[in-house]
Each structure stands twice: as C-alpha cells, then as structure tokens.
Amino acid sequence: MKKSNEPFWWALFGAGGAFTALCLPVLLLLNGLAIPLGLIEAPRHEDVLALAQHPLSRLFLFALISLSLFHWGHRFRFTLYDGIQLKHLHSLVAVLCYGSAIAGAVLAAVILWRI
C-alpha cells in the first residue's frame, strides 16, 4: 500500500489556519485601523526597522507568511478539485498550489533575510 503525504499537507493547513486566525486580526487592527485613525501613535521608522531586524520577529513573520500561504494552497487545491471539478488534474493542481506556497515562503525568507 502506497504511503500518502496528505497528513503533512493537512498539518500545514491546520497550523496555517490556526496561527493566521490568532495573529492576523491583531496586526490588521493595529496597522489597518488604530494607527491610520490616530487611536495610537504611529511607530517611528527606526523602531519598526529594529523590530523587524530582531531574529524572533523575523521568525514570527516567516511563520505567519509561510503558514498562511500553505493554508491558502491546501484550501485552493480542494476548491479546484471540488468546486471546479478538476480532480482529473490531481498532480498538476497539487504541484501548482503547493509550489506557489513554497515559492512564496522562499521569497518571504529571502526578503526577511535582507532586512
């Protein structure tokens, strides 16, 4: 019997969904509403840069971006399978969805490394 790699992708899907659901609303509330509406003072560029250069901040941002992308890739894969009925293109859809997530994660790592 052939071993499946589905549990690996489901684990990334679950981790991405949970981590994104916990962290993204706070980031959106702060950066999308509170700062633009003047409810809190906008941080200085130097402070944001120093925060982004800290290794734990980079790790947090990488986890948030990459796990969100894997969550999207898994959800979009099954949307294409079930919603658009592309099950006959199983391998191609999986490679495109997960490949996009991997490419996005690598791009995020490169950008975060250069900060």
Comparing CA positions, the residue from 67, 77, 60, 78 lying closest to residue 102 is 67
Domain-embedded: residue 1: no
Question: Can you give the residue range of the structural domain that contains 54?
Answer: 6-114
Q: Are 51 and 115 in contact (CB under 8 A)?
A: no
Question: What is the three-class DSSP state of 19?
Answer: helix
Total number of domains in the chain = 1
pTM, rounded to two decimals: 0.86
pLDDT tens, position by position, 6-50: 888 889 999 999 999 999 999 999 999 999 999 999 999 999 999
8-state DSSP, 38 = T
Burial of 104 (0-12, 13-18, 19+ CB in 10 A): middle
1, pLDDT greater than 80: no
Domain-embedded: residue 47: yes
Q: CATH number of the domain at 82, please.
A: 1.20.1300.10
Only one residue has tokens 């981590």, namely 19
Domain-embedded: residue 98: yes
